Chains A and B, each alone.
Chain A
Amino acid sequence: MIMIYLQLFLSFFKIGLLGFGGGMAIISLVQNEVEVHGWMTSAQFLDILAISQVTPGPVGINVATYVGYTASGTVWGSLLASLAIILPSLIIMGLLCYLYESIRQRWSENKIFRFTMRMIRILVVVLIANAAYRLMTPATFMDYSSWVIFAVAALCTLLPEVKKNRMTETLSHPILLILVSAIVGLVIYR
């Protein structure tokens, strides 16, 4: 029993340490660990993946919690797996934060540094736009209604850019838009 906890901790620590590119990129690493240790069948893993993608929260934490529970059969296993996947982030981001501040203090007036940072920021915006583009799949846009939902949501989100007041601020709130579109989906697709 102790062995399973140790395996869970080491596996998810490794995933947190070597997983670049966020939650979805980490999935293949998790799958690999699951197969190596024989924690569950691949059909079970696919089920878990599907549920993790439709429940709230970061996908990586969802998968870690679920695999931890299924492998050990206890709540402790799931907590341990989640903690293990966060731990490397805490260490590495902690170091990066200190590095970031000391570099910023020393170089913030430097022209080349400012130019580089500006280029990185442009790259990040392109990355975000690309993430939206990649999500524009037939599975997401299955009929005309999806396009209408998309257009209305986009319009609402960009309203404050045109005219900033209390009403546009409220209409553009991401949580409100997600809740409303869930209700709309329930009405249209059930």
Chain B
Amino acid sequence: MRNNIVQLFLTYLKIGTFTIGGGYVMLALIQREVVDKHHWLEEQEFLNMIALAQAAPGLIAVNSAIFIAWRISRNEAHRHQRLYSAACVAAAVLGAVLPSIVIILLIAVFFTSYKSLPVIEAMFKGVRPTVVALIAATAIRLARKI
């Protein structure tokens, strides 16, 4: 039981740390972790989840974390079901946003006059094509299991 909460937090911490440049990259990571590795959802429900997360207002990353955590919490019966669901959702959302908040605060507090660093710019020139490939591949892999 408590394992699931910790597991969700750690999984989303990982997803939040490696999401670069918006929610769609996150989908590749979520599919890997949630569908392929932990088998928490099947491909079809994963697609339902994306539809819901997009239709609702707010950040897709946060919306999907809420849905997946809630869905996983319903997989097993629990004495305090609602409390348990709320704890799972809180753990996933916290994991998803914590890397963001910590990194941005570090930058905001210590680099008051930020000018784009050539090192970071070079890294991102390499990462951007990979991100496109990851998103395209996610579409192809999911298309086979609609």
Chain A residues in contact with chain B, CB under 8 A?
16-24, 26, 47, 50-62, 65-66, 69-70, 75, 78-79, 82, 85-86, 88-90, 92-94, 96-97, 100-101, 117-118, 120-129, 131-132, 135-136, 139-142, 146-147, 149-151, 153-154, 157-158, 161, 173-175, 177-178, 181-186, 188-190
Interface size on B, residues (CB 8 A): 81
Contact between chains at A125 and B133 (CB < 8 Å):
no
With a 10 A CB-CB cut-off, give which of A121, A147, A190 has the most chain B CB atoms. Answer: A121
Chain B residue contacts of A153, Cβ below 8 A: 129-130, 133-134
- What's the Cα separation between A75 and B50 when bound, in Å? 32
Cβ distance A120 to chain B, nearest Cβ, rounded Å: 5
B122 and A189 contact, CB distance less than 8 A: yes
Cβ-Cβ contact count across A and B, 8 Å cutoff: 289
Q: Give B71's nearest chain A residue, CB to CB.
A: A97
**A22 and B48 in contact (CB under 8 A), knowing A174-B32, A178-B131, A181-B127?**
no
A128 contacts B27, C-beta separation under 8 Å: yes
B77 within 8 A of A: no
Cβ of B57 and Cβ of A16 under 8 Å apart?
yes
A185: B residues at CB distance < 8 A:
122-127
Would you give the shortest CB distance from A170 to chain B, in whole angstroms? 12
Cross-chain contact A89 with B66 (CB below 8 angstroms): yes
Pick the contact of A129: B20, B99, B127, B136 (CB < 8 A).
B136
Interface residues of B in 15-71 (CB under 8 A from A): 16-29, 32, 44, 47-48, 50-63, 66-67, 70-71
A189: which of B103, B125, B134, B139 is its contact (CB, 8 Å)? Answer: B125
